[in-house]
């Protein structure tokens, strides 16, 4: 499992009125994301003996074919969608299921987050939203160590939930901050489940999550969107 970089403090951003700092929409990032990097000119000892990574620096073109859902597809939370995907090693398709759980944020978990005291204070009394993703390797492509899809979340009010920007340790009870698939996520039928932490107020929960990476787009008519109903 790739080692996750740690930072002492993460930046808090949220759409909670004036409650927390910032209100910038989350930015979508590429599917195959490196867990670490080597200094220019250096090569790790194991690099020369590992499987080639043709998409480490090159982004492949993905297409909607076969069972893959069409742009603009709408689903309910818990329903499955087959989407084109890629890792550093290969292109393929995965089955993606998305659910959201809302729980009151325990003070003990807030205290454990890599935040400044003033930011922790702003989370007291708020809710954690656990965005859970279940990935299934549909065709046996080598999806080892792939970074789980980044989904654009919207709340009931039309805003964005809070999130932690950065790669600090954001583990809380019921939601482990681990979003890189294991090395054995490379066989047909392999399953990997992840959880991404958001936060907000109970009265304004997450009601939709959209996948907008290629071959889909950010426009509602071109995204794959899960909704609470």
Q: What is the pLDDT of residues 170-215, one digit of tens each?
A: 899 999 988 999 999 999 999 999 999 999 999 999 999 999 999 9
Give per-residue burial for 192-216: e unless 16+ CB within 10 Å, then b.
Answer: bebbbbbbbbeebbbbbbbbbbbeb
Residue 45 has pLDDT above 60, yes or no: no
- For residues 66-91, average pLDDT: 98
Residue 103 has pLDDT above 50, yes or no: yes
- pTM summary value: 0.81
Pair of tokens at residue 21: 């700092």
Confidence of residue 32 (pLDDT cuts 50, 70, 90): low
Residue 44 has pLDDT above 60, yes or no: no
- For residues 62-68, average pLDDT: 97
């Amino acid at each position: 499992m790739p080692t996750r970089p740690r930072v002492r403090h993460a930046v808090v951003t949220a759409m909670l009125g004036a409650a927390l700092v910032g209100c910038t929409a989350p930015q979508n990032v590429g599917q195959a994301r490196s867990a670490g990097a080597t200094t220019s000119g250096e090569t790790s000892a194991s690099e020369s003996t590992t499987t080639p990574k043709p998409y480490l620096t090159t982004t492949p073109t993905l297409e909607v074919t076969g069972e893959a859902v069409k742009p603009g597809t709408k689903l309910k939370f818990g329903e499955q969608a087959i989407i084109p995907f890629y890792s550093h090693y290969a292109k393929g398709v995965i089955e993606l299921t998305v659910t959201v759980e809302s729980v009151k944020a325990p003070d003990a978990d807030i205290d454990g987050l890599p935040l400044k005291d003033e930011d922790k204070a702003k989370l007291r009394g708020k809710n954690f939203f656990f965005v859970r993703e279940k990935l299934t390797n549909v065709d046996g492509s080598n999806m080892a160590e792939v970074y789980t899809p980044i989904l654009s979340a919207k709340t009931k009010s039309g805003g964005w939930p809070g999130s932690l920007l950065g790669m600090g340790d954001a583990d809380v009870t019921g939601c482990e901050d681990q979003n890189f698939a294991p090395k054995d996520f490379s066989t047909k039928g392999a399953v990997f489940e992840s959880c991404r932490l958001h936060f907000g107020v109970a009265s304004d929960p997450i009601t939709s999550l959209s996948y907008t990476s290629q071959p889909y787009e950010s426009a509602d008519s071109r995204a794959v969107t899960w909704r609470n109903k």
